[in-house]
Amino acid sequence: MDKAKENMQQVRRQLLEPAAMDDAFLDEALGALYQRSIDFGELYFERLVHESFYLEEGIIKAGSYDIDQGVGIRALAGEKTGFAYSDVIDKKSVLDACAAARSISAGHNAQRVQVRTASVREPLYVADNPILSWERERKTAFLQALDQAARAADPRVSQVTANLSASHKMFLLASTDGRLCADVKPVIHVSVTAVLEQEGRRESGFAARGGACLFDALSDPTLPAELAHEAVRIAAVNLAARQGPAGTMPVVLGSGWPGVLIHEAVGHGLEGDFNRVGSSAFSGKVGQQVASSCCSVVDDGSMAGRRGSLNFDDEGTPGQRNVLIENGILKGYMQDRQNAALMGADLTGNGRRQDYSCLPLPRMTNTYLMPGQYDPAEIISSVEHGIYAVNFSGGQVDITSGRFVFCTSEAYLIEHGKVGAPIKGVTLIGNGPEVMRQISMVGNDLAFDQGIGVCGKAGQSVPVGIGQPTVRADAITVGGAGA
């Protein structure tokens, strides 16, 4: 646990010591919250450092370096929430924010609060600042290597853009139940987009890498060429693609990133806030069959090095593995503190916020479909006529009904049990719970995204992980241009 203790000391030095704050002041501030009758209160201190570079036409066109820090104060009383924040971390700002947050309650309570021994756990990722792990010249050289490799891969390449970014986030949380915890997390991201042009037609391809790690994870000298060639390959596939068919048919979803469909069409519907108010298609169905018996869905915030992993969530609950659906049976929902209390449920480590100025919400971490027994080739060979969806570019979901629309960015026909011609203009249309019941074969090739997932909800964005093996859904409505 030495690393965890070092993290706590690092966060104290950065966030508390410059403002001459110690445990006695944290006790004072929490006591100020408890001057009113509230169920729970917390102080959330945060510092985020972010750097990014953008390359176009072989040169660095833009770059940024930002430092943002502040404190958010929250008080809970039943369904009511009092919240205030300040982008200045000093004693007066904290006490003023406490006074504002506690105003949700008129009753006096005046309890003494004392911060206990800090919560620690073995960290899931390193605490070093990734921005400092590579010098600036090495970062720009990596982007230029992406550009050169993409242009060398295919003479039809007309445009290349690339982005490299890193962030270093730390927070310290003290709460009225006496808990004190801290976390320090690095996140990196690199991506390349290649545009191919032929006979007046243009198509693009995208490839990326990332994770909760340092830039050392990108040190393989073959990686720039690997990423560039993947982006060019996808663009070339789409240049050769014909219009996809339309109708209801079997769809095979590839492993890895296609798990975004599970994330959007199922995962959001299993978040506690939607289910507490009964607005999810999964509301009130714990213990019921909501998917085929070959489907088990897990949200796991305790995976080492993954982008969506959390030593502690943004309410101080340790990240953990939660089985949401087991053999088709709904086992439970993802919870933050407030919704868990109102539903009489256990905390699951899913209370997340974009930054100190935002309220925590129940959010996914690393969400994936568990592997099954089938070889991917066996799944494809089982389809006489259908679609093989390898990648998605985006989609929309209605949480209440479960209805979704997803656009493919790489897809192929399946004809007589074999992968055929590439197709484009294909959308998958359906209902999340219904599609889960249509899954008849689950592959043994579980894979995760390349560490680039970002999830949006209520105007907040947080890093997430997505994964699944190859799966067959017996019937999904496919929108395309032809029959």
Is the pTM of the predicted complex or chain greater than 0.85? yes
Which CATH architecture fits 2-240?
A: 2-Layer Sandwich (3.30)
Mean pLDDT across 300-310: 95
* 203-217, 245-259, 396-410: range with lowest mean pLDDT: 396-410
Residue 226's contacts (CB-CB under 8 Å, 6 or more residues apart) are none
Among the listed residues 280, 372, 373, the one whose alpha carbon sits nearest the alpha carbon of residue 332 = 280
Residue 395 has pLDDT above 80, yes or no: no
Residue 412 has pLDDT above 90, yes or no: yes
Residue 304 has pLDDT above 60, yes or no: yes
Mean pLDDT across 103-124: 76
Beta pairing class for 366-369 and 361-362: unpaired
Two tokens, residue 225: 């060429």
Place of tokens 């080739």: 377
pLDDT at 483: 45
Residue 378's contacts (CB-CB under 8 Å, 6 or more residues apart) are 441
pLDDT at 457: 93
pLDDT at 117: 63
Mean pLDDT across 439-457: 95
Q: What sign has the CA pseudo-torsion 320, 325, 331, 337?
A: positive
Confidence of residue 398 (pLDDT cuts 50, 70, 90): confident
Single-letter amino acid, residue 336: D
Confidence of residue 254 (pLDDT cuts 50, 70, 90): very high
Single-letter amino acid, residue 302: S
Cα–Cα distance measured from residue 277 to residue 189, given in angstroms and rounded to the nearest whole number: 36
Residue 310's contacts (CB-CB under 8 Å, 6 or more residues apart) are 124, 183, 185, 301, 302, 318, 319, 349, 352, 365
- For the chain, the structural domain boundaries read 2-240, 243-479
Residue 1 has pLDDT above 80, yes or no: no
Two tokens, residue 102: 């506690």
Asked if 53 and 63 count as a contact pair (C-beta separation under 8 A), the reply is yes
Tell me the per-residue pLDDT of 329-377, one tens digit each, with 9 for 90 and over: 999 999 999 999 999 999 999 999 999 999 999 999 999 999 999 999 9
Residue 482 has pLDDT above 60, yes or no: no
Tell me the per-residue pLDDT of 166-205, one tens digit each, with 9 for 90 and over: 999 999 999 998 889 999 999 999 999 999 999 999 999 9
Cα–Cα distance measured from residue 290 to residue 394, given in angstroms and rounded to the nearest whole number: 24
In 41-189, which ranges are continuous DSSP H helix? Answer: 91-101, 136-153
* 98-112, 193-207, 230-244: range with lowest mean pLDDT: 98-112
Tell me the per-residue pLDDT of 20-60, one tens digit each, with 9 for 90 and over: 999 999 999 999 998 888 999 999 999 999 999 999 989 99
Confidence of residue 111 (pLDDT cuts 50, 70, 90): low
Residue 118 has pLDDT above 70, yes or no: no
Asked if 255 and 468 count as a contact pair (C-beta separation under 8 A), the reply is yes
Mean pLDDT across 411-437: 94
pLDDT at 389: 96
Mean pLDDT across 99-120: 77
* 3-12, 59-68, 146-155: range with lowest mean pLDDT: 3-12
Q: What angle do CA 156, 141, 237 make, to 5 degrees?
A: 25
Mean pLDDT across 151-176: 97
Q: What angle do CA 33, 36, 42 make, to 5 degrees?
A: 25
Written as one string, the DSSP assignment of 203-259 is EEEEEEEEESS-GGGG--TTHHHHHHHHHHHHHHHHHH-EEPB-EEEEEEEPSSGGG
Residue 392 has pLDDT above 80, yes or no: yes
Mean predicted lDDT score pLDDT of the chain = 94
Mean pLDDT across 150-162: 97
The rounded Cα 162 to chain-centroid distance in angstroms is 21
